[in-house]
Each structure stands twice: as structure tokens, then as C-alpha cells.
């Protein structure tokens, strides 16, 4: 700070003034000229700055420095340079067991309920159907939408969001839904050519609207999975984000749409086995992309989707 600098400057000026006096000059001259004094043992005793430095060195000797030492028991030379941690090492098996135990403590997510349907029933809407689609993202094949009116007294414990179910579970629920005449259902398929003609979003909206129109009984209210409602259903429908995990009738529709499309893609695989449609169902996984670049697109590929649109014959 400024005060400290002024103090140092004043000290220097005072020292210079003192040094200019004749008496101090004689003392300094005589001190420089004097040889170091010898001790009784004949050793020279360091004076002045040397003595101060020696004291300083002796003071450093009193400072304790912790240096890692090698273990004398095992004779490991690398132990001196190795730092040990206080954390206990955990094997993969122990980590997996710990993760499984932690997951078991978490409450399981509840499956779809009938809350949305009950709300509609209470409002006087007696026939409520759920709508869902399958196949918006794949590079090949159709987009499929299904509408389903699920009876109020019907219970299928295995029903859930189709994406959360195994293929065997979906097939089992699908067969049960198809065999039950009390379940009012309708499925609409929009092929790849129509998708390329009007784009995938419009094709999905068209499939949803047509699946509702295809019901044998007109629905009073429609619950649609997602965040969009087809224009033709705006007066009697609502969108529910992640509705297939919240509403039973939407979950039932998701199973109908998913299994219908999966079966269609399996038949396409029989016609074009090089692409592996029976495994990925047309989605853009690495094996599918490699097959496209190796063999070129097949007639069922969507020409407006990458990478087909950049290939000869694409859009």
C-alpha cells in the first residue's frame, strides 16, 4: 500500500543520512578491514551475513517433511512413488449387485390407467377410443395407426406401452385383443409411396384419422398419443404426451399398431432378406445403413428419407 512505501522510503533516506556521518564511516571501514576472529579451538567464526545464513540453514533443518518410504516388508521399490487411496476397490460383481439392490428399492412405475377414460365418461362421453401409431421413424415400410375402444370391465394385466413390452408380450396381448369381440378396433396402413408423396407427418395424421373413421361405432371422444391432433378430429379429440404409458386404451392401440407393422416388415424381409428387416423393422441402425450403402435401396425404402434422397432415384 502507499503508506508502506512511504515508510520504506523514509527509512532509506534516514539510513543514507546516517551513513554520511564521519563516525559511522570509520566504524564500517574498520569492520570491513578486520579479519574474522579465531575461536579457542583454532576455528574461524563466521560473522555478519554469513553467520545469519548459517543460522537460517540450521533453522531449515528443524522443518519436518513427510517423504513416502518404500515398504520394508515386501521390498517394493515402486512403493515410494505410489500414492495410496483411502477408497476401497469394488469388483464389477459387487457393483452390479449394489446397483440391482438399489434398483429394487425404487418403486416401480405404474402402468397405464383408466383415469383419462373415467374423466371422459364422467363428462358424458360414453365411447372413448385411444389412438397410437407405429413407424414414423423408420427408413422403410409403412406407418400404421390403430384406434381402440377398450371395454370398461375388461382387464388385461400385461397391457402396457408397446415400447416397454417384449415381442412375446406384444404378440400375446395382440392376439387377446383381436380375439375379443368386445374390443372395438380399427387399423390403418399408409404405405411408403404415400409417405413420400405427402411427408411422414401428414401421413401419420391421415392414418390416425382414418383409423378412427374405421371404427364400427363412432367414438364420442378420442385420446391420441403425442402432441398433435389430426385436423378432422379437432372437435372431439385431445392429445396426451406419452399417452401410451398413461392410458389403457392408447396402450392397447399402440400394441395393435406395433404388431401389425412388425408382421408386415417380416414379410418384406422375406422378399428382401439382405436388409435384415426382420431384426430392425426398418429403423436406421448401423447394419441397415451398411446394407443400404452396399446394395442400394429396395422398393420399400422411403425416397424422401436420408440417405435414399441423396442416392440416384431419390427425392
Q: What is the mean pLDDT of each run of 10 residues along the chain (315 residues)?
A: 60 61 53 52 56 53 53 50 60 74 64 94 96 97 97 89 90 95 97 97 98 97 97 97 95 97 97 96 96 95 94 75
pTM of the model: 0.66
Nearest C-alpha neighbor of 148 from the set 243, 270, 284: 243
What is the reported pLDDT for 254? 96
Amino acid at each position: 500500500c502507499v503508506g508502506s512505501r512511504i515508510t520504506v522510503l523514509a527509512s532509506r533516506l534516514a539510513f543514507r543520512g546516517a551513513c554520511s556521518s564521519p563516525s559511522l564511516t570509520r566504524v564500517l571501514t574498520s569492520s570491513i578491514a578486520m579479519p574474522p576472529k579465531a575461536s579457542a579451538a583454532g576455528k574461524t567464526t563466521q560473522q555478519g551475513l554469513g553467520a545469519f545464513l548459517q543460522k537460517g540453514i540450521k533453522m531449515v533443518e528443524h522443518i519436518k517433511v513427510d517423504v513416502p518410504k518404500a515398504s520394508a516388508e515386501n521390498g517394493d521399490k515402486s512403493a515410494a512413488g505410489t500414492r495410496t487411496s483411502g477408497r476401497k476397490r469394488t469388483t464389477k460383481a459387487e457393483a452390479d449387485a449394489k446397483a440391482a439392490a438399489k434398483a429394487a428399492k425404487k418403486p416401480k412405475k405404474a402402468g397405464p390407467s383408466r383415469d383419462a377414460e373415467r374423466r371422459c365418461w364422467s363428462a358424458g362421453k360414453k365411447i372413448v377410443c385411444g389412438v397410437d401409431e407405429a413407424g414414423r421413424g423408420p427408413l422403410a415400410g409403412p406407418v400404421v395407426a390403430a384406434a381402440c375402444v377398450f371395454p370398461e370391465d375388461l382387464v388385461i394385466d400385461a397391457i402396457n406401452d408397446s415400447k416397454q413390452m417384449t415381442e412375446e408380450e406384444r404378440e400375446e396381448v395382440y392376439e387377446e385383443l383381436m380375439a375379443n369381440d368386445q374390443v372395438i378396433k380399427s387399423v390403418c396402413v399408409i404405405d411408403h409411396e404415400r409417405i413420400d408423396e405427402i411427408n411422414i407427418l401428414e401421413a401419420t395424421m391421415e392414418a390416425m384419422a382414418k383409423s378412427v373413421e374405421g371404427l364400427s361405432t363412432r367414438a364420442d371422444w378420442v385420446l391420441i398419443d403425442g402432441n398433435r391432433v389430426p385436423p378432422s378430429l379437432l372437435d372431439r379429440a385431445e392429445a396426451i404426451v406419452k399417452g401410451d404409458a398413461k392410458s389403457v386404451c392408447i396402450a392397447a392401440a399402440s400394441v395393435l399398431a406395433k404388431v401389425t407393422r412388425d408382421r408386415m416388415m417380416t414379410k418384406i424381409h422375406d422378399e428382401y432378406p439382405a436388409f435384415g428387416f426382420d431384426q430392425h423393422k426398418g429403423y436406421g441402425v448401423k447394419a441397415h445403413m451398411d446394407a443400404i450403402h452396399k446394395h442400394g435401396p429396395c422398393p420399400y425404402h422411403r425416397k424422401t428419407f436420408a440417405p435414399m434422397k441423396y442416392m440416384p432415384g431419390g427425392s
